[in-house]
Every structure is written in C-alpha cells, then in structure tokens.
Amino acid sequence: MTSRTAIVTGGASGIGLAISRRLVGDGTVVAIFDVDGGAARDAATEICTDGGKAIGLAVDVADRTAIDAAVTEVRSTLGPPAILVNNAGITVAGPFLELTAETWNRVLAVNLTGTFDCCQAVLPDMVEQNWGRIVNISSSSMHSGVPGMAAYVTSKAGMVGLTKVLALEFGRRGITVNTIPPGFIETPMMRDSLSKGVFDMDLQVAKTPVGRVGRPEDIAATCSFLVSEEAAYITGQIIGVNGGRNT
Ligand code: NAP
C-alpha cells in the first residue's frame, strides 16, 4: 500500500498499538489518537525509530472538539486520512442494578459516540478521495452478552449496527466499513479484567477451540487485510477473530 494516511484511536496500547505497528509496516502513515498523549507520542516515536512514519496526538474520543482539531492536524501534517480504525475503548464491570447513569454514559460516550464522531470527522476526506477504509473494533461479547457488562456490550453491539449502516451509505464512494469483534486478547485491558476477577484465564482458554489466548497481532493482521486494496469487495461484515469461539 502506498503511503495512505491512517488514524488509529486508542493506538498507544494493546490491540491499537499492534494495529499501528502493522499498518506502518505495511507502508501506511499513521496518526495515533490516544487519551494518553505521552503514550501516543512514545508509541509513534518507537514506530518511527523502526523506519516508519507516525505521529501521536492526545485525543479523548469522547470529545468531538478534540477529534476535529486532531483530524485538522493530521490533514496538514500527514495528508487527508483514508483509513480509520476505531479501537479506543473502555470497559466497566458490575451488576446491572448498581450501574450508574454516569458510568453508562461514559462507556457509551467513548466506545460508541466516539466511533460515530471519528467516522463523521473523517468520512468527508474519504469521500473526497473516493476511497476509504473504516474498521471498528467491537467485541465478541456482543454475540452473546456477558453478565455484569451491560454498558460495554451495548456499546459494542451499537458499533456493529453503525458499521452496517455506514457500509450501505458509503459503498458507492469506494469506502468499506467492517467490524472486527475480538475475543479474549492479551492486552493491558484484559490483564486488568483478569486481576479484578472478571474473567478466569484458564476457563477462557478452555472455551477457545484453538486453545490459546489471542494476541494483539492476530487482530492487527486481519485489520491490515481489511484496509488493503484487495479487501475492496468486503464491506458491512463482522469478521470474528476469536480462536473459534463466539462469546
Ligand atoms: P487497552 O490495552 O486498554 O488499550 C486501549 C487504549 O485506548 C489505551 O491506550 C487507552 O488509554 C485508550 N483509550 C481509552 N479511552 C480512550 C479515549 N476516551 N480516547 C482515546 N483513547 C482512549 O485495551 P485493548 O484490550 O487493546 O482494547 C482495544 C479495543 O479492543 C477496545 O475497544 C476493546 O473494547 C476491544 N476489545 C478487546 C478485547 C480483549 O480481549 N483485549 C476483546 C474484545 C474487544 P489508557 O490506557 O490511557 O486508558
């Protein structure tokens, strides 16, 4: 792929970092948007040391003004974005009757409205180029639900719906929109959930047909293909990367 510009949200850690590294390795110029600006800049520096081109920007995807300012900076420093990976996400676990409106709203604001805002901020550039790729990182939890994760699972199911609508609206403009729902990938987020007892590692591995925990690179490889030229006929799809399990 020849120097298209990509934005990866939540790209300073875990799955987003692996995607950023992979896209730079593919020859893409990457802007990492992360709420932790220092980590975003460090990740970009590390990628650049390896010979690629990347920048890191402090962006809370729940803040539309910050998104718009960052996209403007990407346009002027790297060129118009043609690839968007909506990966930033947060998870909160607890019984439904104890879920506060504040927590519900924050999870929806980051995971779902953040995806909506990033898509709306970047799609005009894709329309202008008559080419675009959006990959939304949802979650395998949206297939079956997970007790105690109402806000998270609802936000991820919403991302799937948004993916399907955007695929229909923008298909004739050379823009594809797909979602990868990862299943149990070893990242800081997953390690945090394990330490809080939300998941049991051995049980999760036992439920996974390929018999191992997923790696961020497993998601990055699929994302790399979905944003490629060759994936032009794939849109509106849910591409599970979950070791063979659907929950
Ligand atoms: P992670 O290691 O926690 O990485 C998420 C990144 O997003 C972090 O750098 C985080 O920054 C950043 N972020 C959080 N809130 C943000 C915001 N408001 N604006 C911008 N950036 C923000 O998690 P991960 O496991 O790689 O997860 C990546 C995505 O995959 C998430 O959407 C998650 O729901 C999804 N997913 C993961 C798994 C899994 O098994 N790991 C399974 C299914 C789905 P801070 O660290 O500073 O908060």
Domain ranges of the chain: 5-231
Handedness of CA 104, 247, 234, 56 (dihedral sign): positive
* pLDDT band for position 197 (cuts 50, 70, 90): confident
Q: Which alpha helices (H) appear in 112-242, and where do they start and end?
A: 114-129, 141-144, 150-170, 188-195, 201-206, 216-226
pLDDT for res 247: 62
What is the distance between the alpha carbons of residues 98 and 55, in angstroms, rounded to a whole number? 40
According to DSSP, the residues that pair with 8 across neighbouring strands are: 32, 85
Q: Please, what is the average pLDDT of the chain?
A: 96
Residue positions annotated with a catalytic role: 152
Q: Pocket residues for ligand 1 (CB within 6 Å)?
A: 9-10, 12-16, 33-36, 59-62, 87-91, 110, 137, 139-140, 182, 184-185, 187-190
Q: Choose one of 60, 137, 187, 242 to mutate for the ligand 1 pocket test, by most ligand atoms within 8 angstroms of C-beta.
A: 187
Q: Indicate whether 202 pLDDT > 90.
A: yes
If you take atom 43 of ligand 1, which residue's CA is the nearest one? 139
Ligand 1 atom closest to the Cα of residue 14 is 26
Q: Indicate whether 2 pLDDT > 60.
A: no
According to DSSP, the residues that pair with 55 across neighbouring strands are: 31
Across residues 4-27, what is the average pLDDT? 98
152 close to 111: Cβ distance less than 8 angstroms: yes
pLDDT for res 47: 92
Domain at 5-231, CATH homologous superfamily: NAD(P)-binding Rossmann-like Domain (3.40.50.720)
Q: Indicate whether 185 pLDDT > 90.
A: yes
Average the pLDDT over each of 103-117, 197-211, 216-230 and give the range with the smallest value. Answer: 197-211
Q: Indicate whether 1 pLDDT > 50.
A: no
If you take atom 39 of ligand 1, which residue's CA is the nearest one? 185
pLDDT cut 70: percent of the chain above it: 98
Across residues 5-30, what is the average pLDDT? 98
Rounded to 5°, the CA angle 37-38-41 comes to 85
* pLDDT band for position 159 (cuts 50, 70, 90): very high
CA of residue 176 to ligand 1 center, whole Å: 23
Q: Indicate whether 99 pLDDT > 60.
A: yes
Q: Name residues whose C-beta falls within 8 Å of residue 108's C-beta, 6 or more positions apart in sequence.
A: 151, 154, 155, 158
Q: Indicate whether 101 pLDDT > 50.
A: yes
pLDDT for res 126: 98
Across residues 70-99, what is the average pLDDT? 97
Ligand 1 atom closest to the Cα of residue 190 is 41
